[in-house]
Chains A and B, each alone.
Chain A
């Protein structure tokens, strides 16, 4: 019940294309869904996050779409650039009313954007 399933494992996109990564979860108690971006040799860095009371959040070229009834959320990267090539992780946690957060991560997606 704590798992977050992420797909695809790897994704190759041409420059200017749209990259789409999907995640699904089971635990309905999750109330915060962040996406992390990780470059080689670096730790994951928060990219964008959403709460389940909204269906979409956009920050620049990055958009999260959230479907509460289906327990799914996805990351869309518009106009993908070679600099977006990285590993992307979705995550979920119960944030409300807790003194600490336990992130449950998806397996990760290796995105390669060709010039």
Chain B
């Protein structure tokens, strides 16, 4: 595996479900990110982890809970989501201040 891998690719969940998105980077980067991509809106930065510490949380609702157990893995835990949370969730990684910024293919999330 190379680059940034995200699983699952597609996820349909009910509003009362709990699910997790997984991201793995094989690039030796030290920073990882979650972005949300909604139709006709710019990509929105949700969370940033640098050296496994959360350094940014851009006013994201608590129903989204990130976890970074090590420098290669990033999770986004989801619970009691709303239909407006349906979007493409992208993971990215970089080395330091944006060097080699690489995105995964994303998880297409649908909340029903």
- Which of these, B43, B92, B97, B105, contacts A99 with CB under 8 Å? B97
Question: For the complex, is A8 an interface residue (Cβ under 8 Å from B)?
Answer: no
Question: For the complex, is B50 an interface residue (Cβ under 8 Å from A)?
Answer: yes
- Which of these, A4, A41, A93, A103, contacts B105 with CB under 8 Å? A41
Which of B33, B90, B96 counts the most A-chain CB atoms under 10 A from its CB?
B96
Nearest Cβ distance between residue B47 and chain A, in whole angstroms? 11
Number of A-B contacts (CB under 8 A): 75
Chain A contact residues (Cβ within 8 angstroms of B): what range? 20 to 34
Are B42 and A99 interface neighbours, CB within 8 A?
A: no
Query: Given the known A-B contacts A43-B90, A44-B43, A44-B90, are A103 and B101 also in contact in the complex, defined by CB atoms under 8 Å?
Result: yes
Question: For the complex, is B31 an interface residue (Cβ under 8 Å from A)?
Answer: yes
Are A46 and B56 interface neighbours, CB within 8 A?
A: no
> Given the complex, which residues of B lie within 8 Å of A12, measured CB to CB?
none
Are B103 and A44 interface neighbours, CB within 8 A?
A: yes
Nearest Cβ distance between residue A68 and chain B, in whole angstroms? 19
Are B42 and A106 interface neighbours, CB within 8 A?
A: yes
Are B45 and A103 interface neighbours, CB within 8 A?
A: yes
Question: For the complex, is A42 an interface residue (Cβ under 8 Å from B)?
Answer: yes
B91 to chain A: closest residue by CB: A43
Are A101 and B104 interface neighbours, CB within 8 A?
A: no
Complex CA distance for A104 and B33, rounded to whole angstroms: 13
Question: For the complex, is A89 an interface residue (Cβ under 8 Å from B)?
Answer: yes
Residues of A within 8 A of B (CB): 4, 9, 32, 34, 36, 41-46, 89, 93-108
Would you mind naming 30 contact pairs between A and B with Cβ atoms under 8 Å apart? A4-B42, A9-B40, A42-B105, A43-B90, A43-B92, A43-B104, A44-B43, A45-B103, A46-B102, A89-B43, A95-B97, A95-B98, A96-B97, A97-B97, A99-B30, A99-B50, A100-B30, A100-B56, A101-B94, A101-B97, A101-B98, A101-B99, A102-B48, A102-B56, A103-B45, A103-B98, A105-B42, A107-B40, A107-B41, A108-B42
